[in-house]
Chain A
Amino acid sequence: MFADLPLLSLLIWLPILGGFWVLAVGRNDNSASVARAVALLVSIVTFVLSLPLFFAFDSSTAAMQFSEKLAWIPNFHIYYSLGVDGFSMPLIVLTSFMTILVILAGWEVIQYKVAQYMAAFLIMEGLMIGVFAALDAILFYVLWEAMLVPMFIIIGIWGGQRRVYATIKFFLYTFLGSVFMLIALLYLYSVSNSFDILAYHKQALPMNVQVWIFFAFLVAFAVKVPMWPVHTWLPDAHVEAPTGGSVILAAIMLKLGAYGFLRFSLPITPDASHALEGFMITLSLIAVVYIGFVALVQQDMKKLIAYSSISHMGFVTLGFFTTYMITAHSNPASAAMAVEGGMVQMVSHGFISGALFLCVGVLYDRMHSRQIGDYGGVANTMPRFAIFAVFFGMANSGLPGTSGFVGEFLVILSSFKANFWIAFLAATTLILGAAYTLWMVKRVIFGKIANDHVKELTDIGARETLILTILAVTVLAFGIYPAPLLDVMHTTVQHLLEHISHTKVL
């Protein structure tokens, strides 16, 4: 029944047009409540529409599903071409799911220009879904860049003290990264006369060209992930962004970079990826270990979670780029485990980091401080909140039974097949992650009531409880039974590994 509907187009355009609808109904500040309601409605409908993607998804094929193709600029071989496989589908569902929570999270907190706030998130949702679904390089690039604008506005208008600095840094960093991708895409067009991403996968390329293209993509995706040493925009952007902005940044935007590696770098330049695996693994391990230590010393809760995100994303890239080494030393099944581990880590990190930012948001809304030192003994005044905070803290440090464990475990396990020391260094995150997360939780939540402000705190209300409960249930569900997630991506991962095992150098 869904075969006839252009489902992906609906998922892209419904939120974007919905965003303009919100702007139209919420022109003055009196109609803020209407704007909120419309935004929630649009986001829920979008989520419901994204569910058929998951349930009607055929996990036995690696081919693109729900495909659409329309002529956009046929003179230059640019098509409006969409489709999903096992990599993009889960991320699209994740995007539509998180957007509902973000809209709920901004319900009472945002009082200035409500309609613009809600609209920015909806428009961004459509653009992000489009990035995941795009199969045309120019369509991908257009959406990839356009996405920066709503985020720029969100951080700039509703952000904290140093918001202007943070948002301009965010914008220019990512813009600088992506223009190199544009050059690479245009070069690929000049050799293949096509902007079809899947055609690029088949395009034979000499080794030196592959290396250039690999680095052009790397700049774009590494900034987005972000990988060390181009991560410095993230702590600033996270700290200054409003809660909803931080959630979307951590839960979805960072995934775009990792997704780019799977969709572009590995399949288009497999030989360069192979040759540079040591370089990529080193960068990933630096992110995991060094950034883990950096997180340990943070005084600002949001900054701590931001660094924790970078460290966790290091796992994702580690999983993707150890595959060559694992295949060389062991069997392809272990390599598949590494990539799947990376994918699970992406989805799980989306839930957990989103939840942690929401928790910080809950505290910030009440005390207007993000400093760990200003808190202490919150459990005494906010017992319900404390349960959630401790739970998500545990999940962030990779407690078995939560989704955080699954991804990390798969990546560490498979990287043993590549090299003991890689696995050893990666495994330090289990200690470091527990150290920085739980230490923060201990200082904020437990102990004596630190000051009068904490004493006056009120516990979370129904809306906040609802958001955090939904997330907690999801984290638990994927932690206990990750099989549905693994199933949908399994064939696609196999296909990718098969594809990158062949050289493209003629």
Chain B
Amino acid sequence: MQYNPTIGIETHVELKTNSKMFCRCKVVDTEEPNVSLCPTCLGLPGALPVPNKKAIEFITLLALSTNCKITKQGMFHRKNYFYPDLPKNYQISQFDLPVGINGSLKIVLNDQEAEVAIERVHMEEDTGKSTHMGTGRIDSATSTALDFNRSGVPLVEIVTKPVLKTSLEAVAYIEELRQLVLDLGISEGKLEKGNLRFDANISVANSESDVLGTKVEIKNMNSLRSLERAIDYEIERQIKALNNGEIIAQETRHWDEGKEVTKPMRSKEGSADYRYFSDPDIPNMVLDEEFVNIIKSKMPKLPYQKRLELMQTGLSIGEANILSKSNDWIVKLFQDVYSTTKNSSSTYNWITGELQGQMRKVEINELPSWFKADSLSEIINLIESNKISFSSGKVILAALLVKNVTPYDVAKEQNLFQENDSEKILQIVKNVITENSEVVVRIKNGEDKLIGFLVGLIIKSSGGSINPSIAKDLLSKELEE
């Protein structure tokens, strides 16, 4: 039987505010435990929450950039459950009146644009951090240590509709979302730091059925790689189970990174009755037109807009997508170099391939201060006009990364300018043919690979400055005669 998987993704994004969601404690990134606390985020008796304006602006910005409808009169709700790292034993969240609903996000999948439907965008507060101490195994911990620095840090949760079909689509969605929050300037967007955390809801259904299958929630995927693998594993697991006539249980499963399997979590979490109700400490939040317009006016260029712009230079959507998700300086460099070369393809290849490869080799993360976009343009133009070879271009680029020189100086100094004069080259070709008559005979007998050997000799005897393609053309012509 044919089965169709359906995937929905819930993503928590940590917002880049100075202070926490409901108090004025600093958002800190430190291993030192319990150093940024107040009665509110520690849940002391008598403390009250007051929402952070910047966080609400950030959430509204994200909701608007994903085409969501903004809820004019929003509310904060208490989500009740007991867990030691949740200080109040309720989490302030938004239930039926979130900041934004019914939006969409444009992503790039298999070199084509696709759209992911967004169900809702709402605010949440983070919990504290538990460390399980004991023999090392998580289920044999002897005690749990708690650090509440993270408690009350603002999060935005973005929930997609159950519309994704593959793990690759899910990865492309997260990549796009990550770029979006970076471009909006609302999050550090670091997956390895947990700035973006995602859960996936997965179901599979008979392809002839209109009804979705039973939903299974997968948690604890810490990287794009584990997201991809966990989804693939879970889809396969569910299909296998259905083929064996089993019933899929609605449950929450945990991705085991080491064993690369999903495992059911304790039923305690699955059967929760959160008793949501409007938080009586926080009056209704009105996001009126004036507020929304102010936020709209702060909207930067979005990733899909950046992509469209880049595509106007002639890049493919795939290239534009990769470039749009690169660091800002790379995009800027591309634009500057392109403006003089007018050759998007070679500019793209030089920047995303050679330049970044060489930077990795010499272990630098940013360009040296003397490195100018014009220098790269010059290299590309020298190659395009056959004044230097492609490999000489690489040599020049390497030199430019370590010292403050111009491409011209390097080419001159290292004698990299090419001989393009056919007359002069022909003379050398003729000499080489005469001097290697045995090789010429073998070539004529079919040993074609020796042509390269002769080209090498030609370039060598010129001191390396000959344009190899001209040399090769002339050689071929001579050999035919």
A binds B: no
B residues neighboring A (CB under 8 Å) = none
